[in-house]
Amino acid sequence: MSNELVSLQGIHKSFSGVEVLHGVDLTLGAGEVLALLGENGAGKSTLVKILAGDIEPTSGSIDIQGSKLAKLDVYQARQLGVRMIFQELNDAPALTVAENIFLGQWPHSGPFVTWSEMAAKAKEVLDRLEVDIPVDAIAGQLRVGERQLIEIARALTQDTKVLVLDEPTAALSNVEVERLFAVMDQLREEGVGMIYITHRLDEVARVADRVQVLRDGSSVLTVDAKKATREDLVSAMLGHANAKNVRPTVTDTSEAAIKVSGLTSFAEFQNINFTVNKGEVLALFGKVGSGTAEICEALFGLRSITAGSVEIFGKQYKTKGPADSAEQGIGYLPADRQRLGSFPVRSVAENLAVRSWKHMGRFGFVNRALEHKAFSRWAEALRIVSRGSTQTISTLSGGNQQKVLLARWFEAGVNILLLVEPTRGVDVGARRDIYEIIRKQAKESGMAVVVSTSDYEEVVLLADRALVMSRGEVVSELSGNSVEAGKLIAASS
């Protein structure tokens, strides 16, 4: 291939002794779109971060535009025209569209920004992308999809040769997704090579020329996108893991713990009905923005309920906010562990006990010895790896942090536990542990569990039943052995 832009050969990468990439090859031509698929933890992000110079590979060769590089750093990667677009926005919301497009590299004469030149150039770039956004609009007031396009426009002003898009459509509406694809078509014409990471199989045929599938750190399939069937891709992604994914024995109890009727919160979700029995695990499965996380937030009092009712053990349930919900025996584990879950500079024991202080002493006092005992007890049951109960939680691995936060609610003895993306950012091994722990705890304590997730594997391995959601509505219900990856994906897309 004469117009080859990128060639990665035999990339190996280990993190603290554990190999996460086992010799992956990847090539990308000019004007080509390569879709990179794989489950969470398959190594997609690590691979593209190596390409961006963010992570140094343990071994393997990197070749960008014909120049073989022994070592690649972020600065070099930028020089060579590699740009990344992430799911999370990296813009300055208070500045205008034009300023964001030229962020940090504003056209200037002397110390002064030349506004007219900047506006004209910004308009030129947006026109080229056939995007109609006023250049003097404030970025923060635009829709997420529009802001993502602005980031792409920024990449374009900087002589981009290779554009990596890491799940950019997760938060976009259908119209915005279509517009993004149109822009990608435009870039393809201009000879930009693109690596497109996605979870949505339906997008592959629309946007990509070739598909590469990673599984457990190895490349397992590379095919022409037009020839790849959905079944091929799914089985390549799941692989042996699928065979190993044994469905748990379904818990069958008859006492309803929580009953939700006609629940609605503005446009986030509408007319949701379900019942979860004691000891049962119900999954709400859907893409980000489909309303699954929002239901959990509403039940915990973090979001207002505009219609419908909730009954807990047959009694009408209303909440004034998280503190009130927690006092009524409900637990909630947010998806964003750093921002909403953990107390980073505090010890693991404190992080675990924070919800149980009431039971750990009288007259407002807390017996610290009981905190440490509780930690030791759960550390053993949940296989939490730490240096001891006084270790600061932020120094633990993601999986171990999540176990501490789960134990927080187990220790508090809640009747209903709401989990949002409970294994996001958790390595594969710890993930299995966490599923086992949740199921065991639910069974033993009779706790009802509602899991909001966008990961089908999680549903298969964890849930007794699943409601599939799309755009704020339940589109299908699966239970027992019909909870399987293929049906979940088919129902949600």
Partner 1 sequence: MSNDKGTEVAQSQNKVRRRMPDVAPLLGFLILLTIFFTVTSPYFLDVDNFKNIFVALAVTGVVCVPGTMLMIAGQVDLSVGSSAAVSGMILGNVVNSYGISKGLLAVLIYGLVIGAINGFFVTIIGVNSLITTLGTLATLYGIALLIGNGQTLMMKNFEWLGTAQPAGIPLPILIFFVIAVIGIVTLRRTRYGRSLYAIGSNPNAARVVGIRSNRILFATFVLSGLSSALAGAILCSQLSAGDPNAARGLELEVITAIVLGGASLAGGRGTMWGTIIGLTTIGVLNNGLILLDVPTFWQRVAQGLMLILAVSFDATRERLASKRR
Q: How far apart are the first and last CA of the chain?
A: 35
Closest approach of Cβ 322 to partner 1, in Å?
Answer: 5
Nearer to partner 1, 403 or 408 (CB): 408
Closest approach of Cβ 336 to partner 1, in Å?
Answer: 9
What tokens appear for 96 in the block?
């205008």
45 vs 197: CA distance, rounded Å = 8
Q: Using CA atoms in the order 160, 166, 171, 177, what is the torsion angle rounded to 10 degrees?
A: 50
Closest approach of Cβ 345 to partner 1, in Å?
Answer: 5
Closest approach of Cβ 394 to partner 1, in Å?
Answer: 6
CA-nearest of 319, 274, 327, 271 to 297 is 319
Q: Check residue 409 and report its DSSP letter.
A: H
Nearer to partner 1, 147 or 408 (CB): 408
Nearer to partner 1, 246 or 345 (CB): 345
Which residues are CB-neighbours of 240 under 8 A, at least 6 positions away? none
Closest approach of Cβ 63 to partner 1, in Å?
Answer: 33
Closest approach of Cβ 358 to partner 1, in Å?
Answer: 7
Which residues on neighbouring strands pair with residue 473, listed in sequence order? 470
Closest approach of Cβ 91 to partner 1, in Å?
Answer: 22
CB count in 10 Å sphere of residue 189: 9
Nearer to partner 1, 199 or 372 (CB): 372
Nearer to partner 1, 57 or 331 (CB): 331
**At 109, which helix (H) or strand (E)?**
strand 108-109
**At 203, which helix (H) or strand (E)?**
helix 201-207
* Interface ranges with partner 1 (CB under 8 A): 300, 302, 322-327, 332, 334, 339-346, 350, 354-355, 357-358, 361, 364-366, 368, 372, 376, 387-391, 394-395, 408
Distance of alpha carbon 165 from its chain centroid, rounded? 14
CA-nearest of 156, 181, 21, 172 to 101 is 156
Closest approach of Cβ 466 to partner 1, in Å?
Answer: 25
Per this entry, what is the length of the chain?
493
Nearer to partner 1, 388 or 480 (CB): 388
Q: Residues of 217-252 as b/e, b for ≥16 C-beta within 10 angstroms?
A: bebbbeeebeebeeeebbbbbbbebeeeeeebeebe
Closest approach of Cβ 392 to partner 1, in Å?
Answer: 8
CB 34 within 8 A of CB 164: no
Nearer to partner 1, 259 or 355 (CB): 355
What tokens appear for 265 in the block?
């919160």
Report the half-sphere exposure of 203 (CA within 13 A, side-chain side).
23
CA-nearest of 248, 275, 255, 273 to 263 is 273
What tokens appear for 392 in the block?
């600061």
CB count in 10 Å sphere of residue 391: 15
Helix axes 428-445, 368-382, angle to 10 degrees: 110
CB 259 within 8 A of CB 245: no
Nearer to partner 1, 220 or 381 (CB): 381
47 vs 26: CA distance, rounded Å = 9
Report the half-sphere exposure of 267 (CA within 13 A, side-chain side).
2
CA-nearest of 27, 398, 419, 12 to 210 is 27
Nearer to partner 1, 240 or 320 (CB): 320
Nearer to partner 1, 321 or 480 (CB): 321
Closest approach of Cβ 335 to partner 1, in Å?
Answer: 11
Which residues are CB-neighbours of 344 under 8 A, at least 6 positions away? 338, 392, 393, 394
Nearer to partner 1, 243 or 345 (CB): 345
Closest approach of Cβ 374 to partner 1, in Å?
Answer: 13
Nearer to partner 1, 10 or 321 (CB): 321
Closest approach of Cβ 418 to partner 1, in Å?
Answer: 11
Nearer to partner 1, 107 or 425 (CB): 425
Closest approach of Cβ 398 to partner 1, in Å?
Answer: 13
Beta-strand relationship, 59-64 and 4-15: antiparallel
